[in-house]
Structure 1
């Protein structure tokens, strides 16, 4: 499949939603493969090797969370959950199970397109290239452990840098509070969410042009944080 025409696998049991997604994705120049059950979706993921999977959690045969875990074990394919379940715990469970992003129904086609593009961009770039992450005034060079804003180096504390590094490695994706706390502070601190609020506020003051209206370090309310680039 040409990188300019990605193949998107839809795992969605509602025919009306599938038709809507097919129309939208075709309008953006993308190909689709659709299934109505989790088992068919898993088989399609293994055989067709799509560039990205969109799945609903409320499937008739397999629990969506179990399907996410199986997909993550069998194929490293970016996965976007599209679900009517809007509870915080549902989002956290899906993301912690291996989903790359989560969008609640109803949703805007603009936001869906932006999130899909971000996932496709990330999956097309090997994480070990050593290329700096650049977005607007920001430049993060993980290899040399340097961060710049408007070409001026910004001094970060070790914890601040570890937070930024985690977000860069998952750029465009939601990183949950639990993931950040576990990887930056350790497994004994997975419930210390106040640490994140303090340090993310500090990072926004150092890296955003308007900390009160962040453009790049975004909050996913009740779930985690996302580092986004320029669209």
Structure 2
């Protein structure tokens, strides 16, 4: 069984030859462009534009900068999966040269709460549903009006402002999970986990009183591209490394939840 291509990533950014494609934006006419500030948001946001259309992406970056944001662009999904950690918002196209944008969105959402707005030419209802199910906070179809995009950015960032920051360390009895270093210890002893084992434990520990369904685990940890057996195998391995089945409790017919060892 092969890994999801979003896991294999992490390749250096290879610029793509700029070409001529239709513009992303519907130009607003008859009104001067002005900078709007959102109450409660201090200054501009750090925005990452992920789009293989280099000319269109650069045009959007320039307009975002004129509105006070710190914006930059990348053309490949693999590069975005390195760059999103340093930004406040991701504007993500689904048509990328190396990875499908839905896969990129799922990969980001499995480990981060950074807001993601899908900005794409895929305009069907099904595409929108799939984008939101992949973890996007909003969905904008090209071509779009720039003022509409700005309003959606403001709305998404307002919602993000009121959410509590993600915990840097999760403690559950003798179990310690350092989110930044991705290290786990039990009774002071370091537990060496694979990437997916850590993601699985982190998801369960982030919702200690909640039963997480198999479907949700597959979607958030594996991008919904693996089988039911994958969850069972990783749960078994995780239990073995933690020293018993009590840390990952099976709720028959529903899913799993974090136990007490």
* Structure 2 residue aligned with 1:113: 150
**1:3 Cα deviation after fit:** 3.6
The match for 1:22 among 61, 75, 78 is 61
Distance 1:74 1:28 in 2: 29
Give the number of the structure whose alpha-carbon radius of gyration is greater.
2
Q: Tell me, yes or no, if the aligned pair for 2:58 and 2:73 is still in contact at 8 Å.
A: no
**1:34 Cα deviation after fit:** 1.3
* Structure 1 residue aligned with 2:79: 40
* Structure 2 residue aligned with 1:123: 160
Report the TM-score, using the length of structure 2 for normalisation: 0.46
Q: CA RMSD in A?
A: 1.6
**1:16 Cα deviation after fit:** 1.6
SS at match of 1:59: coil
Distance 1:15 1:77 in 2: 23
Compared with structure 1, are the counterparts of its residues 52 and 98 closer, same or farther at alpha carbon in structure 2 (3 Å cutoff)? same
**1:75 Cα deviation after fit:** 1.3
* Structure 2 residue aligned with 1:10: 49
The match for 2:120 among 59, 83, 86 is 83
Distance 1:80 1:126 in 2: 17
Q: Tell me, yes or no, if the aligned pair for 2:94 and 2:102 is still in contact at 8 Å.
A: yes
Per-residue Cα deviation, 1:142-196 (whole angstroms, up to 9, x for no partner): xxxxxxxxxxxxxxxxxxxxxxxxxxxxxxxxxxxxxxxxxxxxxxxxxxxxxxx
**1:33 Cα deviation after fit:** 2.3
**1:127 Cα deviation after fit:** 6.1
Report the TM-score, using the length of structure 1 for normalisation: 0.52
Distance 2:51 2:98 in 1: 11
* Structure 1 residue aligned with 2:129: 92
Distance 1:117 1:31 in 2: 14
Distance 1:17 1:102 in 2: 18
Consecutive unaligned residues in structure 2, runs of 5 or more: 1-40, 166-261
Per-residue Cα deviation, 1:8-30 (whole angstroms, up to 9, x for no partner): 01111101211221121012100
How many aligned residue pairs are there?
125
Matches within 5 A, 1:36-185: 36-46=75-85, 48=86, 50-126=87-163
Distance 1:19 1:119 in 2: 22
**1:97 Cα deviation after fit:** 1.1
Distance 1:126 1:36 in 2: 30
**1:126 Cα deviation after fit:** 2.5
Distance 1:111 1:126 in 2: 23
